[in-house]
Amino acid sequence: MPERLCCQVCSAPHQYLYFNNGKERSQVRCKLCESFTPVSQRYRKPAKYFCPHCEHPLFLWKQRRSTAVYKCDRDDCSYYLANRKKLNKAERLLFLTKSSQFRLRYNYVECHFTQEELVHSAPQKKESGNIFAIRNTLHTLALILTFHISLGLSARKTAFVLRNVFGVQASYQTVLNYSEMAAYHCHKFNLAHKGEADALQVGDEAYAKVAGRNWYAFLFLSPLRRKITSYHCSPERDERAATTALREAIRTVPKNAQKVTAVTDGLSSYVPAAQYINHTENAALSHKQVIGLQNLDTESETYRPFKQMIERLNRTFRFHTNPASGFKEANGLISITTLFATHYNFLRPHEALNFEVPCPLDQLKDIATLQGKWAKILRIAASLT
């Protein structure tokens, strides 16, 4: 028995101690008070995060590629008890057998990415990216964007219309190439002219196939002006993509806004996205979730109308992207999403705005045709690069 050992309860010397766990010999017991003492002291690392409701240390629950999730496991935590009380009778019975389907405990998500990595998706610049040096005129390029983007025709149907209605010889590949060239310039135009965003933003994800794999377009909308404030495309619905889209959506919110609210569905990636933005940018961002198709809680009932707006935008987006029947490369999806945002914000009249466009521009007021407005937008966009 090591002479340095003594009972940690009554301080009895080593003569009154004996090993109590067999061959491991890592624990001793006192003959006087019958308490246990470890042979070697265990040192725990200091807790990294604490629960703001019960001040208990959080433990590492999940480790992911871009995040780490810390969780509070105390059963007497006020946050956990309050969420337990919100369950109805059916949910309480389900909780007894399938508790993993409920998120009742406090979680904190630590993000492993930096602000420099949160780059909004942008169309690539093609080698022959000068829209004023193409074989056809700028008017022809504007016609292509009118039929392919504004009217939602496929590239093959657009080429068919150009040949048989306007007598312009253009293949469907020409339509795709011209669209990607225009999207590179329109992306900078969208960011520069989208104007101030509302203090309330609503977001959702739309789906598209890229090389046979699901890609996601994160769309955010300003409910008051009905304009798209963010359109980030990503192969994953992870925290990094959600943070990038949400960060761009609130970028132009007025600085004097006391509170910014983001309304989304139940996707778990938005929760750490809001936490990250509040932590890194000191933004007063409040995140609201609309869960399911029925209003089972007051939060879903209050913000359901805004969720319906973004669902309507998703249907409009799919109308313009479904004719493509998928994309060979990611740049195709990013380009058509960028051009769709240009069309939706600057060219498409909205009934809720008395048939005005969400982002009116003085340069487009006196132009009557869609192709004329597309041509003017391309000239303005080219001057920005």
Average pLDDT in the 88-100 region? 88
Q: Are 374 and 251 in a shared domain? A: yes
Average pLDDT in the 303-321 region? 94
Average pLDDT in the 206-219 region? 94
Q: What is the distance between the alpha carbons of residues 374 and 136, in angstroms, rounded to a whole number?
A: 15
Domain presence at residue 321:
yes
Average pLDDT in the 171-194 region? 93
Supply the pLDDT for residue 129. 65
Q: Of 69, 92, 112, which residue constitutes the final position of a domain?
A: 112
Q: Sorting pLDDT into bands at 50, 70 and 90, what band is 250?
A: very high
What's the chain's average pLDDT? 90
Measure Cα distances from 356 to 101, 147, 227, 352 in Å: 45, 21, 11, 8
Domain presence at residue 150:
no
Q: 218 by DSSP, 3-state: which?
A: strand
Domain presence at residue 301:
yes
Q: Are 305 and 219 in a shared domain? A: yes
Total tally of structural domains belonging to the chain: 3
Q: What is the distance between the alpha carbons of residues 304 and 294, in angstroms, rounded to a whole number?
A: 9
DSSP state, residue 149:
I
Among 43-52, 100-109, 193-202, 306-315, which stretch is predicted with the lowest mean pLDDT?
43-52
Q: What is the pTM of this model?
A: 0.82
Q: Are 13 and 97 in a shared domain? A: no
Supply the pLDDT for residue 43. 53
Among 14-18, 236-240, 293-297, 316-320, which stretch is predicted with the lowest mean pLDDT?
293-297
Domain presence at residue 294:
yes
Q: Are 375 and 266 in a shared domain? A: yes
Domain presence at residue 158:
no
Q: Are 367 and 281 in a shared domain? A: yes
How far, rounded to the nearest angstrom, does the alpha carbon of residue 200 sit from its chain's CA centroid?
A: 15
Q: Are 86 and 204 in a shared domain? A: no
Supply the pLDDT for residue 358. 94
Instruction: Summarize pLDDT for 345-355 with one digit per residue, the tens.
Output: 999 999 999 99
Instruction: Summarize pLDDT for 28-51 with one digit per residue, the tens.
Output: 888 888 888 888 765 556 778 999
Domain presence at residue 178:
no
Q: Scan for tokens 């200091």, then name that residue.
A: 46
Q: Contact, 217 vs 209, CB < 8 A?
A: no
Q: Sorting pLDDT into bands at 50, 70 and 90, what band is 336?
A: very high
Q: Are 6 and 85 in a shared domain? A: no
Look up the domain containing 336 and give its range: 186-384
Sign of the dihedral through C-alpha 96, 97, 98, 99: positive
pLDDT of 163 higher than 90 = yes
Q: Sorting pLDDT into bands at 50, 70 and 90, what band is 20?
A: confident
Q: 355 by DSSP, 3-state: which?
A: coil
Instruction: Summarize pLDDT for 116-127 with one digit per residue, the tens.
Output: 889 999 999 887
Q: Is the pLDDT higher at 100 or at 192? A: 192
Q: Are 296 and 343 in a shared domain? A: yes
Domain presence at residue 88:
yes
Q: Are 15 and 64 in a shared domain? A: no
Q: Are 2 and 92 in a shared domain? A: no
Q: Are 197 and 337 in a shared domain? A: yes
**Structural element, H or E, at residue 216:** strand 213-222
Domain presence at residue 314:
yes
Instruction: Summarize pLDDT for 281-300 with one digit per residue, the tens.
Output: 877 899 999 988 887 778 88
The CATH number of the domain holding residue 283 is 3.30.420.10
Among 74-88, 211-225, 293-307, which stretch is predicted with the lowest mean pLDDT?
293-307
Q: Are 289 and 193 in a shared domain? A: yes
